[in-house]
């Protein structure tokens, strides 16, 4: 069943829902619903319905894990650019948005932490790709362009591995992850990248280092509570480093720190600051991001350096980088590193802590990529690699690019991980030009 309406700029949006198996290995078992939103630009509609019907489809796979599709009030940026030539399908990946929800309420209803972890196995990239294929079949689309941002790029690599027949082109931005190797390897790179990004930020805004140190000192001496009542610790404060992943978001960090204290005496943190920190570090709207984050790197032991479990990789690897310790004199801000404390102290995640432990201990993950298929890939593919990306390291991205036959790399140092938010039209024009067929 579909429903259509318009955005304020005249873009037509149409709802699509498809029923899929929770476990694709048991197609007759429990079913869930996956939702997608179709966008047709006003300019295309002005050409008439026959023109619209001739437009090719593009599936967008957003970042995450656990992120729902974009909800724009009107088409802008990369969506406006692609809307000239495509009908855009925005997928709410399983468990997110208007798809059958996966959250602390639905997850805890599954029983023990072990049962919950077993349930979470069904929400990785391999299942997301199968859902997309079910939607494509339901819509009667012969093949489509798949565009993956960040974790969506990981999913696109999985798509190229197992369902390439459903694709006529693959576009990836900031999402060429490693194909082999343990999760530790990712964090050994990203801690170095984030340290450099910290240095860059504090060189640009030296007063931010002074303010951050003052906030850290205040947290060490006082029991500080966010407005939701949860404790603000140094480790939780370090999650503000997620803002360093983007160009403009780093400015957001600066403005946030400007209002940290009530006055020059720096004896009390402001509610303005505490509200902003709570908003940036809470996982209330996206619990899967924290609970499942390291599972996106989970591979069979033979593909992961002999170790199947991720085993809280970010926490363990942090011990190799003393400057990120919460006890350091001037602790650095983190990037996409989820630590035990982040789950334990977040009111939404705390009921899922034992589940997160179970996920970290899983040592028999199914493979996410088919190395042989990628080596003989025939789908036109291009990827934007950001030289200074702190979330998806350039070195690992280029290594992966070498293993995907025919993949064209557009490397640029003009953007960080959120490049498509800065100048999505230019980036997408470049990728499309590299995948013409």
Catalytic center residues: 150, 364, 417
Which residues does 190 contact at the CB level (< 8 Å), separation at least 6?
335, 336, 337, 390, 391, 393
156 close to 380: Cβ distance less than 8 angstroms: no
The candidate with the shortest Cα–Cα distance to 149, out of 432, 422, 417, 426, is 417
Task: Give me 231's structure tokens.
Answer: 């404790």
Which residues does 371 contact at the CB level (< 8 Å), separation at least 6?
179, 180, 403
Cα 182 to Cα 185: distance, rounded to the nearest angstrom: 6
- Edge-to-edge strand list for the sheet holding 87-92: 4-6, 12-21, 31-40, 87-92, 57-61, 144-149, 167-173, 381-386, 407-412
Which class for 301: exposed (0-12), middle (13-18), buried (19 or more C-beta within 10 A)?
Answer: middle
Cα 70 to Cα 96: distance, rounded to the nearest angstrom: 12
């Amino acid at each position: 069943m579909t429903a259509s309406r318009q955005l304020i700029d005249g873009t037509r949006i149409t709802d699509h829902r498809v029923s899929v198996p929770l476990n694709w290995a048991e197609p007759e078992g429990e079913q869930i619903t996956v939702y997608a939103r179709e966008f047709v630009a006003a300019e295309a509609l002005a050409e008439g319905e026959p023109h619209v019907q001739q437009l090719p489809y593009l599936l967008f796979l957003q970042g995450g894990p656990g992120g729902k599709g974009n909800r724009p009030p009107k088409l802008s940026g990369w969506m406006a650019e692609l809307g000239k030539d495509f009908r855009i399908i925005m997928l709410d990946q399983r468990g997110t948005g208007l798809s059958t929800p996966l959250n602390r309420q639905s997850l805890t209803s599954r029983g023990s932490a072990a049962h919950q972890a077993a349930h979470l196995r069904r929400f990785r990239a391999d299942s997301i790709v199968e859902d997309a294929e079910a939607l494509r079949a339901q819509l009667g689309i012969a093949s489509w362009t798949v565009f993956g941002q960040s974790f969506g790029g990981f999913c696109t690599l999985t798509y190229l591995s197992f369902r390439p027949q459903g694709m006529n082109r693959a576009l990836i931005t900031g999402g060429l992850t490693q194909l082999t190797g343990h999760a530790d390897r990712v964090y050994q790179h990203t801690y170095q990248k984030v340290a450099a990004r910290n240095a860059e930020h504090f060189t640009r805004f030296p007063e931010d280092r002074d303010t951050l140190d003052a906030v850290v000192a205040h947290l060490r001496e006082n029991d500080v509570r966010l407005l939701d009542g949860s404790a603000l610790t140094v480790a939780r404060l370090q999650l503000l480093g997620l803002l360093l992943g983007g160009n403009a978001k780093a400015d957001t960090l600066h403005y946030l720190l400007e209002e940290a204290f009530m006055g020059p005496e720096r004896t009390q943190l402001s509610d303005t600051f505490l509200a902003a920190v709570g908003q940036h570090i809470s996982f209330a709207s996206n619990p899967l991001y924290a609970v499942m984050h390291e599972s996106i790197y989970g591979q069979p032991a033979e593909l992961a350096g002999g170790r199947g479990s991720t085993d809280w990789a970010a926490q363990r690897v942090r011990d190799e980088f003393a400057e990120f310790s919460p006890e350091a004199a001037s602790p650095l801000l983190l990037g996409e590193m989820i630590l035990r404390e982040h789950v334990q102290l977040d009111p939404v995640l705390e009921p899922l802590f034992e589940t997160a432990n179970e996920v970290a201990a899983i040592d028999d993950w199914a493979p996410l990529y088919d190395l042989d298929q990628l080596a003989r890939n025939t789908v036109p593919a291009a990827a934007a690699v950001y030289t200074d990306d702190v979330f998806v390291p350039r070195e690992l991205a280029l290594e992966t690019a070498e293993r995907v036959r025919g993949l064209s790399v557009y490397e640029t140092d003009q953007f960080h991980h959120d490049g498509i938010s800065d100048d999505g039209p230019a980036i997408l024009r470049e990728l499309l030009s590299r995948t013409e067929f």
